[in-house]
Amino acid sequence: MDSSETEEVVVHELPGAGRLAAWGTAALTGACSLDEAADAVTGPHDAAHRVLGLPGEGTPVTLAYALGRLRFLGAAALRLVLTRPGDPSGLPGPKAFTEGAVAGGAAVVAVGAEIGLLPAARGDWQTYVVEPDRRTPLSIHDAERALGAVVRDAAEVLAALDVARWDPAAADVISRGTRAASSPLPPSAPPAAHALLARSLRLASVLEVAQASEGAAVSGTAMTARRQVLRDLDTAVRRAVEAACSPPPPG
């Protein structure tokens, strides 16, 4: 990877669904107030977020009120799920919820209550009553280990194909050296979550640059293999962001 490619990288921001999962969990567990969580999710330049379709509410409600209502309905935490076309990531139904999540790239699922939320227009959130969530999320440790393994494997595959114009291992090292913005996670999140999220968002940015071209691949076989490597990296990065923003799995 050359320096010109590195200079073009703009570090990704955490999606709103990630902020909602992380700060919503902090509020639901008492680590911060409902208003603090709502302010952190909304951001200083966003319109006030509303939550639509919340069970028992006939009109849109504020995000702070919705978090309190979710706690009353049994929600103990909120979990982030990042999707992509063709990969709903094991989200619970109904179909409208999974299709909306795939189209928008993200969803938030309540832990302890069968409720899911999707980003809607103008910063609003649409609520769905969902089926039981049976997906087993990764722990921060497991996600970090998986991300490192995929980065190493990708470097070996690309080197064997002689198409390693973009070296994911080198990109990971470079991304770690970039200047980190303030963490979007609440202070109550464990240090490992802050570190994993920072690494993942930087690597996602470098990955986006790599996906914009075929690199040095010249044959159809090499291009197909390179795309698969980048797809595997994308999956590992998404899972790492999920783990950093979500509560630890039970047990």
* φ, ψ for residue 107, nearest 5 deg: -150, 160
* d(C-alpha 84, C-alpha 76), whole Å: 27
Tally: H helices and E strands in the chain? 9, 6
Judge contact between 157 and 240, C-beta under 8 A.
Answer: no
Q: Do you know the residue count of the chain?
A: 251
Is 82 in a helix, a strand, or coil? strand
pLDDT of residue 171: 58
Q: Locate 43 and state its tokens.
A: 């951001």
Q: Are 81 and 108 in contact (CB under 8 A)?
A: yes
Q: What is the pLDDT of residue 8?
A: 47
Looking at residue 223, what is its pLDDT?
77
Q: Note the pLDDT of residue 5.
A: 38
Q: How far is CA 126 from the centre of its chain?
A: 18
pLDDT tens for the chain, 251 residues: list them. 444 334 444 567 899 999 999 999 999 999 999 999 999 998 766 777 899 999 999 999 999 999 999 999 999 999 999 999 888 877 999 999 999 999 999 999 999 999 999 999 878 999 999 999 888 889 999 999 999 999 888 777 766 665 545 556 555 554 555 555 578 999 999 999 999 999 999 888 877 777 666 555 557 777 788 788 889 999 999 999 999 999 999 86
